Amino acid sequence: MAKRRIAVTDERTEVPALASRTPLTESAREVLHTQTSPARLRDLGAETRSALVLNDARGWITPMQKTMEAPPEGLFYGQERFTYFLEVVNDLRVKIEIKTETQQDAARARGVSEVLLARARRVRTRLVSALSAVARGHELLENELNIARGEANTEAEINTSLQSLLTLARAWLTREPIRARIAMLTAAQVDEAQTTQRAFALAIGERREEGHANVRDDADTNLAEGRVLTEMRAAMRAFADAKEEGANVPSLTPGAATRRVLMGHKEKAKKPPS
């Protein structure tokens, strides 16, 4: 199933504070990107949910922006670092939007397969009726039909039943032309039923693939999420240290979604060596 991609021609404008700032140089961004290994960043991202992390990070932007307009003495958190914070928040936003669009595509596909399921049931019912008319009064043919009919409790059973009934119908058009003509079973009717069966088989195959897909964030989203968490931790520490020195800065407090990761790592960092 084709997946549409979101057009993100001007990604910076989606985080308003970022739009007015000078972009980082590639070298500065690379230095900040490589301070923590990708594996560690993905591990951090796997501990939280991306949409909730994004929500918590966005809540810090306004108080941080006001402080960075006139940074007080004692705040060791530079303008480039704040720009980087905004960039990684925006990058996570883009990843989440792409994931959301993909999920919406999957939901639309499930809707299509529900329509095809109803059609497949109707086609199967008509086939059984037509074949029953061909077999009426002929024990051998009735037994063949009972075997081909099978069950129809699941999508897979319906598809298998349709395949068997179609095979039987084509055989009877050749072997029992008079009975088929009297029962008004035609090759055109069988061809139409075959078209529905093939479309239905394709739809349930795509649904099966979606069902096996990982519902958690993918590796790229976890990486972006880990960068946001790392930058939130750096900002939280810098602002807390400045506040301890008497600077007039806001407290950056983690929300429920990020508290365990951010506060847990902070506590581990302050624990004296044994």
pLDDT of residue 10: 42
Is 159 a member of any domain?
yes
Looking at the fold, whether 208 and 122 belong to one and the same domain comes out as: yes
Q: Give the whole-angstrom CA distance, residue 114 versus residue 144.
A: 30
Looking at the fold, whether 220 and 100 belong to one and the same domain comes out as: yes
| pLDDT beyond 70 at 271 | no
Q: 140 CB contacts (<8 Å, ≥6 apart)?
A: none
- Of 41-50, 151-160, 262-271, the least confident: 262-271
258: buried, middle or exposed (CB in 10 Å: 19+, 13-18, 0-12)?
Answer: buried
Looking at the fold, whether 160 and 234 belong to one and the same domain comes out as: no
Looking at the fold, whether 116 and 192 belong to one and the same domain comes out as: yes
Token representation of residue 128: 């059984």
Q: Give the whole-angstrom CA distance, residue 227 versus residue 36.
A: 8
Residue 165's closest CA among 152, 181, 184, 182? 152
Looking at the fold, whether 188 and 122 belong to one and the same domain comes out as: yes
- Of 123-132, 160-169, 199-208, the least confident: 199-208
Q: Give the whole-angstrom CA distance, residue 56 versus residue 273.
A: 31
Is 1 a member of any domain?
no
Instruction: Tell me the pLDDT tens digit for each residue of 257-268.
Output: 899 999 874 444
Mean pLDDT, residues 41-46? 93
Is 4 a member of any domain?
no
Looking at the fold, whether 182 and 49 belong to one and the same domain comes out as: no
pLDDT of residue 137: 94
Domain ranges, residue 40:
13-106+216-270
Looking at the fold, whether 185 and 255 belong to one and the same domain comes out as: no
Instruction: Give the three-state DSSP class for 78.
Output: coil
- Considering the chain, what percentage of its residues have pLDDT values greater than 70? 83
Give the model's confidence band at 110: pLDDT under 50 very low, under 70 low, under 90 confident, else very high: low
* Residue at a domain's end among 171, 187, 212: 212
Check: CB of residue 5 under 8 Å from CB of residue 100: no
Instruction: Give the three-state DSSP class for 236.
Output: helix
Place of tokens 């905004």: 86
Looking at the fold, whether 150 and 229 belong to one and the same domain comes out as: no
Is 2 a member of any domain?
no
Looking at the fold, whether 153 and 208 belong to one and the same domain comes out as: yes
pLDDT of residue 1: 39
* Residue at a domain's end among 163, 189, 212: 212
| pLDDT beyond 80 at 201 | yes
pLDDT of residue 9: 36
Looking at the fold, whether 19 and 45 belong to one and the same domain comes out as: yes
Looking at the fold, whether 208 and 221 belong to one and the same domain comes out as: no
* Residue at a domain's end among 167, 186, 212: 212
Mean pLDDT, residues 151-169? 92
Is 8 a member of any domain?
no
Query: How many domains in the chain?
Result: 2
- Of 1-10, 111-120, 238-247, 260-269, the least confident: 1-10
Looking at the fold, whether 173 and 192 belong to one and the same domain comes out as: yes
Is 263 a member of any domain?
yes
pLDDT of residue 212: 44
Is 63 a member of any domain?
yes
Is 168 a member of any domain?
yes
| pLDDT beyond 80 at 154 | yes
